[in-house]
Structure 1
């Protein structure tokens, strides 16, 4: 079989299965070979009964004490508990909805178990473990790849299909020049893929991953290098700068030195005759929005439109209000375009945009739809870029005649990673907060102190202030009962907080009109306490909010906690953030301490690197990195740097093999990279 062959040649792939595979991008033999395992089960790692970690997956050898007990919960649900002796420790193997196992185990027999260990209420449990008789383990201890589930495809299909592909004289051309491969001690591609999918030992996986990560890192660097070498000259003529300083002076506050330096960078970009591609990175609340307003005003003064794409409707509406307020005396018109607009209103706004009667257009993904035509687009601004795909940004840029581009990000990104995320964008940093802002006082407590925290929140509300209560989930989870959710907490607080204080609940499942209504009421001070998910992480800017309580704080990444905390402390009064967690994990408490002791996003990121490594750098959902399969750029900085050096050698080389390799890589770069959604 060949890399480009259709999966129709693989046994077991009919029309329905082919359609299911195509939905996740698997259409060819090469696509299936590139569907890497999400993890490997290594059952040869045995746990120590005297020292193990909560939620650790381990193997253990234990004796069955008796044949166990089946407990019916409700309906067809059941729990089968099997008492075990692990060396000198008693524990239970717990199986959900598998009552038939009651007749499987023999009393006083030894078995090997593999599963997740949990502690609670003085007992130890291993949940839903795999097991085998100790007298006949068979293949139990072989290294086993585990693949992500694909809807409509049996879990056994992928290993079987891959085995067939490798048995069918698989042909994989080796395109990487031999001088690079041997110099870096890399496997050839066929050997690397076999090591990934059919490893004999863990060392095989490491060697296979090393080759495939190298490919991805080199490809990223070559694509970025190609883009950076293409200097695009701008046909957008910005030559009127006399109105810039009067507008800056008319703002209701003074700009910081950092903000003025960013404006200087922008002006220099606009004067050099090339298309501006600039990333403005600043901490939460550092004043990035006003930079966007100034840029849009300058564009309007020169006769050009600005399109500002926000990741959510909440943020788009928020920016719409901010822009209109700051531009109200300039004659610069602002319109907000989102997916929830009524058809008639939307048509009217789009007509004004097409005729050039609107200078600043703010919206979500609606801005890149085919129906949106611009009169004279000069600048594209994307906010919180890590929530957009590269393709989406390029689609918006293509709406005009190579408009200038500015990207706003509050996520603290090291310069090396900024290059990976944003390609050839120049980077400006805002590293100070506006004058008059007081540092947010941050504390960490367990839930036993929640009644005291709520008392403090009510004291603040009695002064006319407002509050946030943040939960990681929208509704209760049976699997994670201890994790707080907005619906339960909202009902709980209705009982615990004085009814004179007005409350509301906000989360992503609400209709757009409901969300906007709640946010508007909160902005106008008609809601005192807002219980919400991390939906408020971006887009709510209410200077009157003085307290934030984050429940189950351990469920959020450090960067996300810092972003959430940035929703308070936007006024001149003292603000407070309470992190509430019942976790006793040393790792969790160390992370909470980082947030309590640090205000600067960069310092928090540095501490996160030290504590957990850069893999968890972007928090719970890992916003923003093109994880192209096996490569996670946050964990591979040395590889990124090394492949950058090799990419430079390839671009400078006149060797025919090197030039052919470069051309082959760059042909595929746009197709692959443009479709990456950085979410």
Structure 2
């Protein structure tokens, strides 16, 4: 007998073949399917009149079939079938290519609901390949859920499987305490899940969503508070206050006020009784590495080792070289530890780490391996936090008694969102750029200007500079028509338009050593142009690169575009970013023009959140935290605040959720965070 934890293949209508398709969506059990909510609904309760239906957006009309035209063969060998339908406001032409069976099912004189995107003009309106439902079907199910699909899994099959899974919905435990349901007038879990998959009406759906949004944010906040309290319980590396002026005076330039302020907050944490758990957040070029260097210097003067974890080998080498310049004059030995080192080099590094000669260890994931033993690790730093989850931070912190932890991110995040994403961390913000950093000019052009743009690139290369060209996908089969694939673009556009120039190719499917080698060649000036996917966004410093070209710019969030733009403008020469898009949407063009006139990453992040939602900040990796299924961090901030307060109240009374009445809640929090790899 199947239950919630049974494989989805045992559900009626699934089977082994479709089970593999569902696995691509992260759905393996019946529980997973029930908790995979629709992304939207087709609402048949309020159909538009034909004359009033909007163009080019999904909408529904209710119309009566007038006549069916015989199928006819058209140019290209396709068969066109048309049906005319009407209501009191006008006539609608329904068209199908090579699908005459769809029209044959319709009965002249009968009324149906047609859903799709209206095209045409005021005198001739047309709907191509509409979804068709009878009045009886609409009466039985007025809302049709639409799920996040995947290739080979038809939307109708996915919806039917979700309906079949509702037979098990009453087995779901309700993690919310009964008093919360009563206080906020929320339906029980099973009722809410049933309603979100098969709502009876608007009120039914609204109540279900309100409850599920609250539950999601409540569980998230409890999990974050538990993570935070685990860190607060442990003893930290004790440090004493010291004057930082010797470090500041050693610099060739004065630090910004923001750098001094952030360093002061970090030092205060390092001298506290509990271990530091802090996020250092700053825009591209704001000088986070210098603040980290000051913290490492402070720890070294107190007799403690530090470790810095970087997401790539080339970035680790860059950090090691830069930090050695800053710290070795003070006697702080900087040791590199990366996977590509020779065995003899690694042996020497491990010995220096173990006996304490290595005052700072800079490395990649290699630092997390069991063979790395520190003598007295007091400060752990994670660079580019969004490449590491909570679990990786925990592994690094596990290298000592509970070292102080500093994580750095170049992704500017509005504070509300930051508190949710990094709720287990305190936050310091660098909101000033160092003096002398030149602004990056940003232009938006269409593909018609591409050849002219390549002429500009050639002049930049002739002047001794380098350029990045970023495409959003690797191969043609991964993208929509018209979207630039990096492999094809490299071979068919970049190389022919820049004959004689040294052009490199970089993408995520290459082996790490291959990627590092291409990046090394570009960094050392052996390549003029780097054609790449977004794998170059992490902060490798190439001061000679002056141009960033981004193809299909509409495919990226503004925050991602801002990050890519920050790869140039790191040297003395003027730099620019060129956004290329042929998208005709006014909203898309407005977004890209906004970036052309805005250099403030925090303003960009706010605009992105307001126009696109939180998707740019919460990708698949989710920063080590669980993926949000229903909550919208722009719309649901009020619910978030309530959930935070309720979570605090609950944990004040039951700090570890050991009360038997909270067993279901504890299980759900653990399941949620285990999925994200955060509570290990």
**1:67 aligned to 2:71?**
yes
Structure-2 residue corresponding to 1:447? 447
Structure-2 residue corresponding to 1:40? 41
Q: Distance in 1 between matches of 2:632 and 2:593?
A: 26
SS of the residue 1:521 aligns to: helix
Q: Distance in 2 between matches of 1:675 and 1:623?
A: 11
Matches within 5 A, 1:419-434: 419-434=419-434
Q: Distance in 1 between matches of 2:96 and 2:329?
A: 68
2:119–2:125 contact (8 Å) kept in structure 1: yes
Post-superposition CA distance 1:136-182 (Å, at most 9, x none): 8677964233455699998477436424325xxx3555564444322
The verdict on how the C-alpha distance between 1:381 and 1:56 changes in structure 2, with shifts beyond 3 A counting, is: farther
Structure-2 residue corresponding to 1:436? 436
Which range moves more in the overlay, 597-606 or 292-301? 292-301
SS of the residue 1:105 aligns to: helix
Structure-2 residue corresponding to 1:105? 103
Matches within 5 A, 1:370-449: 370-449=370-449
Matches within 5 A, 1:605-644: 605-612=605-612, 614-616=613-615, 618=617, 624=623, 626-644=626-644
CA deviation after TM superposition for structure 1 residue 516, in Å:
1.5
2:9–2:16 contact (8 Å) kept in structure 1: no
The verdict on how the C-alpha distance between 1:221 and 1:84 changes in structure 2, with shifts beyond 3 A counting, is: same
**1:207 aligned to 2:207?**
yes
Q: Distance in 1 between matches of 2:501 and 2:164?
A: 61
CA deviation after TM superposition for structure 1 residue 410, in Å:
1.6
CA deviation after TM superposition for structure 1 residue 131, in Å:
3.8
SS of the residue 1:487 aligns to: helix
Number of residue equivalences: 659
The verdict on how the C-alpha distance between 1:16 and 1:223 changes in structure 2, with shifts beyond 3 A counting, is: same
Structure-2 residue corresponding to 1:75? none
Q: Which residue of the other structure, out of 139, 161, 165, is the alignment partner of 1:162? A: 165
Matches within 5 A, 1:11-410: 30-42=31-43, 46=47, 52-54=54-56, 56=58, 65-69=69-73, 81-83=80-82, 93=95, 101-103=99-101, 105-106=103-104, 113-115=114-116, 129-131=130-132, 142-147=142-147, 155=158, 158-159=161-162, 161-166=164-169, 170-171=170-171, 174=174, 176-226=176-226, 231-232=232-233, 234-239=235-240, 241=242, 244-339=244-339, 346=346, 349-410=349-410
Post-superposition CA distance 1:284-331 (Å, at most 9, x none): 111112222332333334443322223344433443443344445444
Q: Distance in 2 between matches of 1:404 and 1:119?
A: 63
Q: Distance in 1 between matches of 2:501 and 2:282?
A: 35
Q: Distance in 2 between matches of 1:607 and 1:653?
A: 39
CA deviation after TM superposition for structure 1 residue 629, in Å:
3.2
Structure-1 residue corresponding to 2:525? 525
1:440–1:575 contact (8 Å) kept in structure 2: yes
2:551–2:579 contact (8 Å) kept in structure 1: yes
Q: Distance in 1 between matches of 2:23 and 2:471?
A: 36
Q: Distance in 1 between matches of 2:105 and 2:31?
A: 49
Q: Which runs of 5+ in 2 are unaligned?
A: none
Structure-1 residue corresponding to 2:557? 557
The verdict on how the C-alpha distance between 1:23 and 1:593 changes in structure 2, with shifts beyond 3 A counting, is: closer
1:537–1:563 contact (8 Å) kept in structure 2: yes
CA deviation after TM superposition for structure 1 residue 553, in Å:
0.7
CA deviation after TM superposition for structure 1 residue 593, in Å:
1.9
The verdict on how the C-alpha distance between 1:278 and 1:124 changes in structure 2, with shifts beyond 3 A counting, is: farther
Structure-2 residue corresponding to 1:597? 597
